[in-house]
Copies of this chain bind each other. A is one copy, B any other.
Amino acid sequence: MEQTDRMDCRGIGSDKEASWESGVRRVVPYTPGEQPRQAGIIKLNTNECPYPPSPQVKRLAAEFETDVLRLYPDPEASLLVKSIASHFGVGEDQVFVGIGSDDVLAMAFLTFFNTDKPILFPDITYSFYDVWANLFGIPFFRPALDENFRLVKEDYLVPNGGIVIANPNAPTGICEPLSVIEEIIAKNPGSLVIIDEAYVDFGGESAMPLVEKYENLLVVQTFSKSRAMAGMRIGFAVGSTKAIRYLRDVKFSFNSYTMDAPTIAWGAASMADDAYFRETVEKVVTTREYLKKELASLGFSFPDSRTNFVFASHERVPAAELFAALKEAGIYVRYFPGERTGNHLRITVGTREQTEALLAFLRKYLK
């Protein structure tokens, strides 16, 4: 989503201008993936998990005592922080939580990227990085991925004000090896490096083990994909005690209470149920591999996905056409117009049944 020229256009006030509208920030709003609520729709457009959250969440919900809602939630979200720290074997002072990883990432941009040097992230990646950079007035530069959508390591070994890498990347699904990630972190001691691991649980190599080694590393993950809790906004960052303290200081300097009480409790329960989590992820990965095999046989090509989606283009039929035909048939996938991405569909891995329905349609349509 290219918004460089359109964001942060402050209204121009003058004493002659008598309208309150002269002070309004004008923006081009982002269009999120459609959230159709009709029954019967096959929703493969926003990379949600096709399976419900942990049964432990259901158990907690059933016994939730609404009387506590009269009180402010725990501003520290301690229960949730503890469960994340325990899961990853880090200190509680190495965990920061927020309202989805979008909130965590935006807060990290605000906290860590305050020099005049541009921050770096690829030209094709999660579409909010440049939006937040513009929002906070952070200069940025976007080195191009190579022709196979791979990261060019050398592009990140130049002077910079910070680095943001989604690994696995979106919407490509590609996971760069941890050795490349580590080299970028190690050779940039003067920059905070954010590794955005929204999709890592589906087969990526996590940088989490590196947080004890590099003070300048922040690993960001989310409950919205592998943990099936997109409906309760939970994201988190793990990093050095020092980096996390900076993040918390900035967050608490302007907003104390953000995470809802049930979200804190249910999120903690979800994180603690590792067996269910692994089972869910394994089902998604199995279906993804099946989807890849079948899509290939239908004439699609795609980078090797380590996520819960496949970024596919067809040898013959344009993505825009397929997108429209699928939607007409009640199957929602995602389509990103743009020079380098415009002939691809981003297809979320659904249940086996949803995947069969998608494939059945494609087999018929592409005949």
Contact = CB atoms under 8 A, between A and B. Distances in A.
A113 B23 contact: yes
A232 B261 contact: yes
A19 B258 contact: no
Contact of A72 (B111, B161, B224): B224
A198 B207 CA distance: 44
Nearest to A260: B232
B100 A252 contact: no
A102 interface: yes
B52 A69 contact: yes
Contact of A253 (B3, B252, B256): B3
A51 interface: yes
A317 interface: no
A72 B256 contact: no
A38 interface: no
A328 interface: no
Contact of A257 (B25, B52, B102, B259): B102
Contacts of A10: 114-115
A252 to B, nearest CB: 4
A159 B15 contact: yes
Contacts of A112: 20, 23-25
Interface in A18-77: 18-30, 32, 35, 37, 43, 46, 48-53, 57-58, 61-62, 64, 66-75
Contacts of A115: 10-13, 22-23
One complex includes copies of this chain to the number of 2
A220 to B, nearest CB: 15
B24 A68 contact: no
Nearest to A262: B262
Given A53-B66, A132-B254, A263-B260, A20 B229 contact: no
B250 A25 contact: yes
- Contact residues on A (Cβ < 8 Å of other chain), bracket: 35 or more
A125 interface: no
Nearest to A137: B137
A231 B261 CA distance: 5
A147 interface: no
Nearest to A64: B61
A131 interface: yes
Nearest to A263: B260
A256 B101 CA distance: 12
A57 B260 CA distance: 14
Nearest to A17: B190
Of A23, A246, A259, chain B has the most CB atoms within 10 Å of the CB of A23
9 contacts: A3-B253, A19-B190, A37-B74, A58-B67, A69-B229, A69-B232, A73-B230, A99-B99, A100-B257
Closest 9 CB pairs of A and B: A13-B115, A231-B261, A69-B231, A32-B256, A20-B216, A10-B114, A52-B67, A27-B253, A70-B228
